[in-house]
Amino acid sequence: MHTTVANPILWADVPDVSVIRVGSVYYMVSTSMHSMPGCPIMKSGDLMHWELVSYVFDKLEDNDAHNLIDGRGVYGNGSWAPCLRYRDGMYYVAFSSNDMNRFYVYRAADIERGPWERSVIEGLHHDPSLLFDDDGRVYVIYGNGDIRIRELTETASAPREGGLDRLLFETESEGIGLRCEGCHAYKLNGYYYLFFIEWPNVGHRRRRQLVYRSRELLGPYERRIALDDDLGYRNNGVAQGGIVDTPDGEWYAMLFQDHDAVGRLPCLVPMRWENDWPVLGEGGQVPQTFEVPLPRPDPAPKPLVISDEFDYSENKLALNWQWNHNPDDRRWSVTERPGWLRLTTGSMVDRIERARNTLTQRTEGPVCVGETLLDATGMKPGDRAGLVALQGGYGTVGIWVGDNGEMRVAMCVRGVDGSEEIAEILPIAGERIRLKIDFDFRESVDTAVFSYAAEGEAWRTIGRPLQMKYTLDHFMGYRIGLFNYATREYGGCADFDYFRYVKSGGLY
């Protein structure tokens, strides 16, 4: 039995992947930054088909920034580059948070159900990797250019008193724009292997995967370029991630590739050992398709992005949904009006980026469409609700309620100063409206088209196509979201009858 792998294996924003195998099951975690719940856990039996099964935490911190009530939030911060490891019946997830200047380690005996025990170590440990040595010692290896090693306690919950804490080595800087980072550390075959990415500003000028090895933990380390390939896509290097084996001893690397506005996409790369060096790819390239000797799952895993009729028996959403920052759990419900998602405003803000309780999912390439039906009956003057294509350069379509309760449909984009700029606003009769966003990521066209339809009427486009761009203020691929926020008085509610999603396309 074999599975055909087609790269990228997920055409959605799943960056900074870290993968392990426990028995015949594979687990993977990735960066989630300001989306909550955070640090998604995916599961697979064949390394190609992945299903979301859990999160490590519901909320990382409970403060004004993470609650999005400080006017700025933690866009582009939060949890970065998690490391997933398993040892002696215990799962470990470790990562740093730039905004908190902290290093977090979570532990659980059950990766799918938890509970997760949290430990916090002060100080940033950039792109960390846990290393469990043969002698029972535990280390974290981290850094950017200057690679450091720090010894932790046996449970990885605190620095070990009197343990190692030093510079391990410095990576090359000549001709390098971004020095080594994204560490993934392993002890295999009598060697210590450290995988990194770097970004040269000479030669191909793209991100590439490196590997360092040494028979001694503290070196000296030898260095090789493990992979320098773009999968034929816009000189975007496939790099950053770790390695994993099958029960039969086949090896693979799970890396990712930048695909502009849709985000950073995981790619599976075949790997072999040659003189105790990992050799990635086929002829130095990432194959677009290849076979893995693992059975295709039956039944097929649930999709990464889903439609939702909001028909819940309890006030708990499907795993596929994430909030933009911590939600205010007092002000959303899928049971207050059965069969509907209700978003109630609790404060006044001036733009979507400052609005709490924006409920999001990823977008997917090459083409996808999201649609909803909004009932604005409970909205108040000054309220704005609808659908958003969320990134730094966002676009929205939805209902604006005027001073006298009049309804208008508006398409807005982010203005130069960060405020919401109206591209088009039109009067509309009635309080129910369908809203839709069409995303096109083919060949990085990266456009979103916004549409609306009054009850009983055909779809009409509104405003202008949004030219989507991946920017580092959010550091995340575009997400589609449902929102409601107040500009005059809070307490109004917007009801969403459903979210319907369609993805189509193939390789590039």
Both structure tokens of 184:
């993934």
Q: How far is CA 478 from CA 12, 142, 471, in A?
A: 9, 29, 10
299-322 pLDDT, tens digit per residue, is 889 999 999 999 999 999 999 999
340-390 pLDDT, tens digit per residue, is 999 999 999 999 999 999 999 999 999 999 999 999 999 999 999 999 999
Q: Which range is least confidently modeled, 21-35, 247-261, 288-302, 332-346? A: 288-302
| Residue 253: closest CA among 218, 290, 219 | 290
Pairwise pLDDT comparison (472 vs 508), residue with the higher score: 472
At residue 303, what is the residue type? Answer: P
pLDDT at 170: 98
pLDDT at 456: 84
Distance CA 348, CA 399 (A): 16
The CATH architecture of the domain made up of 322-504 is Sandwich (2.60)
Where along the chain do the CATH 2.60.120.200 domains lie?
Answer: 322-504
Both structure tokens of 330:
């007092």
DSSP state of 297: P
Distance CA 363, CA 262 (A): 7
Where along the chain do the CATH 2.115.10.20 domains lie?
Answer: 3-292
Q: How far is CA 481 from CA 356, 375, 501, in A?
A: 12, 16, 12
Distance CA 435, CA 374 (A): 7
pLDDT at 505: 61
Q: Which range is least confidently modeled, 57-71, 323-337, 415-429? A: 415-429
pLDDT at 508: 30
CB 483 within 8 A of CB 474: no
Proportion of the chain above pLDDT 70, given as a percent = 99
- Distance between terminal CA atoms of the chain? 27
Distance CA 373, CA 268 (A): 38
DSSP state of 315: S
Q: What is the pTM of this model?
A: 0.97
Beta strands in 275-394 (DSSP E): 277-280, 289-292, 322-324, 332-333, 341-344, 359-362, 367-375, 384-390
pLDDT at 507: 37
432-488 pLDDT, tens digit per residue, is 999 999 999 999 999 999 999 998 899 999 999 999 999 999 999 999 999 999 999
CB 494 within 8 A of CB 378: yes
CATH topology of domain 3-292: Tachylectin-2; Chain A (2.115.10)
**Dihedral pair phi/psi, residue 414, rounded to 5°:** -75, 130
Coil vs helix vs strand at 152: strand
Residue 1 has pLDDT above 90, yes or no: no
Q: What share of the chain is helix, strand, coil (3-state, %, to 5)?
A: 0, 50, 45
For the chain, the farthest-separated pair of C-alpha atoms sits apart, in whole angstroms, at 76
Q: Assign residue 386 a region: left if phi > 0, alpha if psi is -120 to 50, beta otherwise?
A: left
DSSP state of 114: -
Q: How far is CA 168 from CA 154, 213, 218, 234, in A?
A: 21, 12, 6, 35
167-220 pLDDT, tens digit per residue, is 999 999 999 999 999 999 999 999 999 999 999 999 999 999 999 999 999 999
Distance CA 187, CA 213 (A): 10
| Residue 144: closest CA among 164, 161, 158, 124 | 124
